Amino acid sequence: MSREFDTITLLSPSGAILEEARLKLAIERLAAYDLPLIEPANTRLRHQRFAGTDTQRIAALETAMGLPQTSLIVCTRGGYGLTRILGDLPLPKLASHLNHYEHCLVGHSDVTVLQLALLAQGAQPYTLLHGPMACFDFGEPNCTAEITQQAFDEAVWQGHVGIDWHMPGSDIFTLRHNSLSLAGPVWGGNLAMICSLLGTPWQPDFHNGILILEDVNEPLYKVERMLLQLMQAGILANQQALALGQFGDFRANTHDTNYTFAHVQELVQTRTGVPVLSGFPFGHCHPKVCWFQGGQGLLEVKPRQAAPLTSATAAAAHPGWTCSLHQSVLPD
């Protein structure tokens, strides 16, 4: 089954666009889909650090999701801004519009909180694609990575996600697991944004889920603290697996002697018993894959085929892991 859209709508719900050249390039590349492009009035505005005032950004969201034409709504960028308007958004109405008009809202980073709030209000997973944004991805001067483009096209037009990646045999997963095969709702996004929802009406409530997390520009100890916050709030214990994406180059700290991301992963896996996977190809990075927020997925982890041992190869060496995540979300 394939999907059709009538328009592409650019949406700036968070931070102001500082990279006009990136937006121009993104528009040129999105034009290849041969669909009319709609640019709400606030798209290029700047008020303080935001793409317009709170009122202007709320109006842009209502306009984009209330369009009667089925629209591929691509967020221009993240940054910060959605948290301060979340309580003023008519979320049930917006979720209803997404379902009724069969829009697809695409974005990541700050957009995490908007997608999860809409999902909690009844938006269907096929309307919420956690994926590339206009400026950061389609406006990348060195060309949109082929992997990003292929993953985006397959998800947008076919409603299908097929992600493959590898983990080394030295990964923390190897300490406790031989393989993995499980199904459940796939959800997540930016770690800091998810932590910001704890204790709010939009706190995620997924059971037996597959949680994907990423972040950027955070010191390692803060990443650990946020992961422990999710654990202590009971979020991680309800998940079947935790897939960690890209976290960028952790800001150096003089206290981090011999303290690595592997230690953080081991701590989380040991304390929760939840399998922790690394290297998921998503985050503030190029290339990136995408997935449908809240859609059922199948996650599999299998040992890689070992190469023949030689005299220079330790017999105990683990060949590593082949990982895959699949979703098909379009209604019959």
State the catalytic residues. Answer: 109, 214, 284
Q: How far apart are CA 175 and CA 287, in angstroms?
A: 29
Asked if 108 and 80 touch (Cβ cutoff 8 Å), the reply is no
DSSP symbol at 186: E
Per DSSP bridges, beta strands 296-303 and 180-190 are antiparallel
State the Cα torsion 153-60-198-261 to the nearest 10°: 40
DSSP symbol at 138: I
Nearest to 185 by CA among 128, 105, 268: 128
Angle made by CA atoms 176, 181, 183, in degrees to the nearest 5: 125
**DSSP conformation letters of 248-290:** -SPPP-TT-TT--HHHHHHHHHHHH---EE---S-SSSSS---
Asked if 214 and 245 touch (Cβ cutoff 8 Å), the reply is yes
Per DSSP bridges, beta strands 7-11 and 128-130 are unpaired
**DSSP conformation letters of 125-137:** GGGEEE---IIII
> What is the sign, positive or negative, of the torsion defined by CA atoms of 147, 149, 152, 158?
negative
99 φ, ψ to 5°?
A: -70, -45
Q: Sheet containing 239-244: which strands, arranged edge to edge?
A: 160-167, 321-328, 296-303, 180-190, 209-214, 239-244, 276-277
The pair of structure tokens assigned to 93 is 């109405």
